[in-house]
Amino acid sequence: MSAMTDNRRVGHLPALTEADLNESQTQLWNDITEGPRGAAPWMVKDGALTGPFNAWLQIPHIGRAFAAAGEQLRFSSSLDAITRELVILTVGAHWKSEFEFWAHAGVARSAGMSEKLIAAIESGSEAAVRSATSDATHGQIFSAVSALVEHGVIPEEELSRLVDIVDEPTAVEIVALAGYYTLVSFTLNTFAVPLPDGEHTRFS
């Protein structure tokens, strides 16, 4: 029985299975499940996509653009994996996005990020982040991204410090990455996408 008729939901939205999809939705489903993200063991649960993707299936013409942008930012990034995940986790922690932080904490661990640094990012404390890593670049990027999500802008002096340790194209990429994962956080939080069974919440 399809999700549209059995009333199953992913958070606040109907759980769309492959049997429910129109042509445009099927294209998006295939983009996600056959691309590099599709290897995640949590990607499909009970026949429906998890994360932000079930929501994006509701608007496949826009969802495909979202998914394509995310694939480029994550899998074609100029940032090393730990730095990329630091940005994503900083955004997830700021917006208290349970699913985003849980999913990307796992990615960060696989990339070699320490549990101490993951916990420090979760705390939102710049001092804790700087104490948890020997790489001063991580502390500066955390500071810049925290300012961005808090105020909607990286102040000029903060931006200057960031550009001093990365370069201008990398600073642009960091802003784009933070913006994209803010979109992901808003999607996950608004539609109450649940954590997998057995996982504990961090922010509530």
Full pLDDT tens readout for the chain, 204 residues = 334 435 789 999 999 999 999 999 999 999 999 988 877 778 888 999 999 999 999 999 999 999 999 999 999 999 999 999 999 999 999 999 999 999 999 999 999 999 999 999 999 999 999 999 999 999 999 999 999 999 999 999 999 999 999 999 999 999 999 999 999 999 999 999 999 999 999 998
Phi/psi of residue 113, nearest 5 degrees: -70, 140
**Which residue type does 194 have?**
P
Query: For residue 9, what is the enclosing H or E element?
Result: strand 9-10
pLDDT value of residue 171 = 98
* Residue 10 φ/ψ, nearest 5 degrees: -110, 100
Structure tokens at 10: 């992913």
In whole angstroms, give the CA distance from residue 101 to residue 203. Answer: 10
pLDDT of the residue at 39: 73
Domain 80-190 grouped into CATH 1.20.1290.10:
yes
Q: Say if residues 93 and 124 touch (Cβ distance below 8 Å).
A: yes
Burial class, 42, CB count within 10 angstroms (exposed 0-12 / middle 13-18 / buried 19+): middle
pLDDT in the model for residue 44: 86
- In this structure, which amino acid lies at residue 90? T
The domain spans of the chain are: 3-74, 80-190
Distances (CA, A) of 100 to 95, 122, 136, 200: 10, 12, 25, 13
